[in-house]
Amino acid sequence: MLRIGLTGGIGSGKSTICHIFHEFGIPIIDSDVIARELVEPGRPALQQIVTLFGEQVLQQDGSLNRAKMRELVFSNEQHREQLESLLHPLIRLEMQQQISTLDSPYVILAIPLLFEKGWQQLLDRVVVVDCSEEQQRERSGLRDGSSTQTIEQIIASQISRDKRLAAADDIIDNSGSLESLRTQIYTLHQRYLAMAANN
């Protein structure tokens, strides 16, 4: 089974694109979903996070206060590294376990920080979603109401657009309409099916 990594900056359109691949019948493994599940109440990773950052990262019901956590890690490099070295090995393990249960010509692994984590070696190919930083700001602000400052910090913490594009095997241009997006994904889907058949 071909493993296709999908990445792109915040608000570039990764989730939207995953939905479309999924409609074409392709399984999606999303590292963000795995990361969220890993820190659900009762999971050991959540307890380790509290040990690192204190009770301030919990909401009253005992679940992770994601907004607070974001604030902490995006304003402090050391906090970010601590959180990542705790979660990354667990996420990789879970992704590999999920891959092993699948039966499909190819799988999409949506990994927002693919290059930052250096996870290329887990993959056969990497597809990068691209749009302008202006569109990233606009779209992520509309979507989740994060403050402009938080979005700026996240964009600044991610690999630059140029570097991401330079490292891509394939590029999805999401600077246009959703219709154009769908057409590009259909073309890629056909290409990946052909690659998987030749594999």
- Quote the tokens at residue 118: 């250096």
In angstroms, the CA 33 to CA 146 distance is 19
Regarding 10 and contact with ligand ADP (CB under 6 A), the answer is yes
In angstroms, the CA 114 to CA 14 distance is 12
- Smallest gap from Cβ 32 to ligand ADP, in A, equals 8
Q: Which residue lies nearer to ligand ADP by CB, 106 or 184?
A: 184
Regarding 11 and contact with ligand ADP (CB under 6 A), the answer is yes
Regarding 5 and contact with ligand ADP (CB under 6 A), the answer is no
> How far from the centroid of its chain's Cα atoms is residue 109's Cα?
8
Identified binder of ligand ADP from the candidate list 178, 183, 186, 190, rule CB under 6 A: 178
Site residues for ligand ADP, 125-164, by CB under 6 A, read: 139-140, 142-143
* Number of shown-chain residues binding ligand ADP (CB under 6 A): 16
Regarding 15 and contact with ligand ADP (CB under 6 A), the answer is yes
Regarding 8 and contact with ligand ADP (CB under 6 A), the answer is yes
Q: Which residue lies nearer to ligand ADP by CB, 55 or 134?
A: 134
Site residues for ligand ADP, 157-176, by CB under 6 A, read: 174
- Smallest gap from Cβ 95 to ligand ADP, in A, equals 17
Spell out, one character per residue from 21 to 60, where the chain touches ligand ADP: x when CB under 6 A holds, - when not.
----------------------------------------
